[in-house]
Amino acid sequence: MSGSTTVVHLLRHGEVHNPAGILYGRIPGFGLSELGREMALAAAERLAGRDVVHVGASPLQRAQETAEPIAASHRMDITTYDGLIEAGNSFEGLRVGVGDGALRRPKYWWRLRDPFRPSWGEAYLDIARRMMDVIEKARVAAEGAEAVLVSHQLPIWTVRRFAERKRLWHDPRRRQCALASITSFVYEGPSLDRVEYSEPAAHLILQSESAQKAKGA
């Protein structure tokens, strides 16, 4: 089997129900919104014809709910991996975000002192290592076929940059990891050959954005 092709798909969860607009991070109880469930179904439909033999997910509710229709369509159970969990973040539970001005407040500056590690949360290298550990387990479990792992934006983007030998610190506004997107690691034998990317829920995101603009008009 050393020359066989194995694909490990990293699927970001769908939209989360978060009316308060907080950075929910690892806080339990945040499940998918109605749109998020549609996104999960769109991802499941994209993967329905693939030779998926292993499905794993982060322990967080939104990831488990995104994995459910995929596991159901392939008639298998979900394997929960702690290594796929969202990145740790000291801003968890607060209403802060890139571009909203909240991070300009002096009380937050100490947390922002080192963007290269980063100082406000789990180190990028630690994220990459735990993600690679799970990816390797999934590659072995699905050797010669395909695996799906449901995780979160920052862990997926970080491990992709790690695999592509790029620096891990980055501008979060430029991540290529949309909701319910699929980042696929394609292996030839045990070696990573290439990384592919697709957005099966792109049409749903556009519809949602158009609806929001119409409401604000």
Domain limits at 44?
5-216
CATH of the domain at 173: 3.40.50.1240
Classify each residue of 22-34 as buried b or exposed e, where b means 16 or more C-beta atoms within 10 Å of its C-beta. bbbbbeeebbbbe
Continuous H helices in 48-123: 61-73
Query: What's the pLDDT tens digit per position in 116-128?
Result: 677 678 999 999 9
For the chain, give the percent of residues with pLDDT over 70. Answer: 88
What is the mean pLDDT of the segment spanning 169-182? 94
Degrees to nearest 5, angle at CA 84 with 146 and 96: 130
- Tokens 């929960």 belong to 80
Q: What is the DSSP letter of 86?
A: P
Confidence class for position 97, pLDDT limits 50, 70, 90: low
Q: What is the DSSP letter of 32?
A: B
Identify the pLDDT of residue 112: 67
Number of compact structural domains in the chain: 1
55 burial (CB, 10 Å; 0-12 / 13-18 / 19+) is buried
